Amino acid sequence: MSARYDVLVIGASVGGLAAASLLAKRGARVLLLEELLAPPEPSGPLFALDPLLVKALQLEQYGLGFRRRDLKLVSWDEEDEPLLLSRDEPRATARALARISRADAHAWGPFQAGLFAQARALRRWWFHPHSGGDAAAVLANPVARGRFARECLMGADAFLARELETPRLVAALLHDALGGGLAPSEPGSALALIWRAAQEMAGQQGAVMLAQHGSVGMALKAACDAELRFGATVTEIMISRGAAGVRLADGDTIAARAVISSLTRVQTEKLAGLERPAPTRAVGEAQIVLTLSEDFVLPPVLDGARAVLALAPEDYADAHEAARAGRLPSPLPLSLVAEGPRRLVLTAPLAPVAPQEGWAALQAPFAAAAVHGLRRHLPGLPAALTGVTVTPPKALARAGLVQLLAPALTRATTRVDGLYLCGEEAEPVPSVSGRAGRFAAYFAARALQ
């Protein structure tokens, strides 16, 4: 072993940098290993960035900046004018809803109040490093616990249809319930919608935000007191009898007392020599980044908003079925955010998970289907494209409802003592949060004492 550390962190993701920074601030000797030459930068809106992490690391003093805070949600219809749904402007939203449904205009306020009340109560479960217990235990009264039990078994489509009647409105809200490839009628998707609302109840830092491009990774790197090594690919994790270490592609071996990984559970345990069945989930979230020519003008509705292109809840059910069969959905439900006048980030929550060679054949038709779906809203878009980048969905081994109900310790630990997870898969719903890194640092520090 060429060196010895208290903790090795694999991957300079938001979670990896968070874990390394927090442990280093506790006085641990930490080495972070990243195979790329710079921290990978997240794209699109940040709806779950951990406010406690931002505060603890003082990230805004290290360059974290936001183009927009609290993005409005827009239902972008092909014929009617855009429908703006604002978290902090319920009266304005009700007036907008009155154009299409008086019943939904009256229901909007009580619906939001009930959703955020449940989300506020469950934040105590999702935002703190619980070592065990039950999510229902954080709810104070029997009525809330009974409602929670029903919501655990309810699909998000039924949860929304119980309160709202307009398909266009339900479709816009349903987009936020399908993280990690959940089906709209799957048990747990209603709870995922409540989890998403809990992020928006986390204060100004927890609302849906659009960071300045490049500022998240750079701020985390600048705030990190750990030793950083880029261009380092881990090929093996070695853990036995309280000792740990990794082997790099260049043959170097590094010793530590614990290892924290940003990779998926399957990838991490495979590096540790533990074979595990491949994930069975065949649906995930894909992303397309479009760069535009300087003469293209975006519509004003995209300024400070994220638009959802899905006109009916059935679009999501059909898309999920197609993705599970390995086909590209048609129509393709999308959300759209403008990261400046020359850059559009499109997110497809339901896309087929395929091997790398399989996605090589899907990328072009996938991007073409997305651009085709935007043609009515953005005339001239195909001619204005100067670049298209497709990020395929990850094959995450998740269980939906089980992941949302699991205590933080269960999500952060593996079958091997001393080996922890801090990536997207260690979150209740895959997201750029950093909270999993905070939890992994907490459990690793406690084990090192």
Reported as a single tens digit per residue, the pLDDT across 120-142 is 999 999 999 999 999 999 998 89
CB atoms within 10 A of CB 383: 8
Reported as a pLDDT band with limits 50, 70 and 90, residue 425 is confident
Q: What is the mean pLDDT of residues 352-377?
A: 87
Listed residue (371, 390, 335, 393) closest to 182, CA to CA: 393
Q: 301 with 74: CB under 8 angstroms? A: yes
Structural domains in the chain, sorted by start: 4-67+210-278+398-448 (3.50.50.60), 83-206 (no CATH), 283-391 (no CATH)
pLDDT for 172-186, tens place per residue? 999 999 988 899 999
Average pLDDT, the chain: 90
Per-residue pLDDT at 436? 96
Per-residue pLDDT at 280? 59
Q: What is the mean pLDDT of residues 249-265?
A: 94
**What angle do the packed helices 102-126 and 142-152 form, to 10 degrees?**
100
Listed residue (134, 129, 105) closest to 22, CA to CA: 129
Is it the case that residue 80 has pLDDT exceeding 70?
A: no
CB atoms within 10 A of CB 296: 16
Residue 227 to residue 316: CA distance in whole angstroms: 44
Q: What is the mean pLDDT of residues 149-161?
A: 94
Residue 36 to residue 9: CA distance in whole angstroms: 14
pLDDT for 243-256, tens place per residue? 889 999 999 999 99
pLDDT for 274-286, tens place per residue? 876 665 568 889 9
Is it the case that residue 434 has pLDDT exceeding 60?
A: yes
Is it the case that residue 311 has pLDDT exceeding 90?
A: no
Per-residue pLDDT at 1? 47
CB atoms within 10 A of CB 357: 7
- 65 compared with 20, residue with greater pLDDT: 20
Q: Which residues are CB-contacts of 143 (< 8 A; sequence separation ≥ 6)?
A: none
Q: What pairs with residue 305 in β-bridges?
A: 72
Residue positions counted in the chain: 449
The tokens describing 345, both together, are 């980030």
